[in-house]
Structure 1
């Protein structure tokens, strides 16, 4: 299932499912919980999605397929290689920051063997996204700007891993960095954390002077 046809009711169910999966975990949430919270008949939820696993699969595609489109568009932009990588990092962090719920669900569910089938769609999306990242870095390599010995599949985990460590330790960093409101926290991610990750990736990609 690469694309899902969505109507308002389906979107409402997916938004509620994301909230509940994020709060209670996938196993701790039932179709009944979702239908009750969404105020939609349980039979309708089953009709639209069939099973909870299929609902998770639809949710993953709904929340992550626009990232694929943004990366493919970035690939076509007429930018210098490093500017393109910096924009790539901004796109990734913005998508994760706006979709913390689904990424928290994925973080826990990816380790579950039982979820493997539902997560096939996500694996395929990640492979496509990696191809876009590879192309952007290869553009820089062909121009002699980026090193030839980069381990490209480790670039994305470096970006996302730094973000997640920061986010998973939110209370610690809020206190340490005096981020007293949610707005200050989000602003810090957009500015300082993004810049730090861009500098880290630049150090990995660019030849030392």
Structure 2
């Protein structure tokens, strides 16, 4: 079911309940029974639609990220300079993660705490696809002579995401430090100030020193 591009209303209801429970209790701490009970449906219905808990998580990742993949593919062919594409890519990433904290918190937490990495094909495919897009933009910049040749491209993504997640995991500290007193101001700070900081950081890594 995870490869199907469209989900029906009942499937979406199950996915949203699962997302909430996974984010609260962790993947291992949530059972199909918990999900069915919270969604007020039969356990057999969850199994019918998704098979296993792993397949359900895979479907959830697909549901939450399918349009991000399309946006990134469109960005690749836009008539923009490489650094403008990188900046737009970073803004896309940060905005998407910040507006879908549930699924990304699940993935980040599971990857940070599991002895073994989550063997979720759609997540692996998403990461590989995003890395290929990043490589394409950076290679274009290198070919134009504006980006350094000695860049470790696979480390760019953890630099972007690591900065965001450190900020988000220490939310109360930064809200106090920066005198941010509402959720709206916090989200605005991420989408404007934090995004700009990350863009400047990545630009400093990519561009030749003058």
TM-score (structure 1 length as normaliser): 0.94
What CA distance in whole angstroms lies between the structure 1 residues aligned with 2:116 and 2:178?
39
Distance 1:90 1:114 in 2: 30
Could you tell me how far apart the structure 1 residues matched to 2:203 and 2:116 are?
38
The answer (yes or no) to whether the contact 1:35–1:45 under 8 Å persists in 2 is: yes
Question: Given that residues 155 and 201 in structure 1 are in contact (C-alpha distance below 8 angstroms), is that contact kept between their aligned partners in structure 2?
Answer: yes
Query: How do residues 28-177 of structure 1 correspond to structure 2 at under 5 angstroms?
Result: 28-110=29-111, 111-112=113-114, 116-117=118-119, 119-177=120-178
* Counterparts of 2:24 and 2:37, CA distance in 1: 16
Q: Are residues 1:194 and 2:195 paired?
A: yes
TM-score (norm 2): 0.94
Rounded Cα–Cα distance in structure 2 between residues aligned with 1:114 and 1:53: 14
Q: What displacement does 1:161 show?
A: 0.5
Task: Give aligned pairs, total.
Answer: 208
Q: 1:140 to 1:178 in 2, by over 3 A?
A: same
CA deviation vs aligned residue, 1:158-200 (integer Å, no higher than 9, x gap): 1111000000000100110111110010000011101100100
Q: Structure 1: where are the runs of 5+ without partners?
A: none
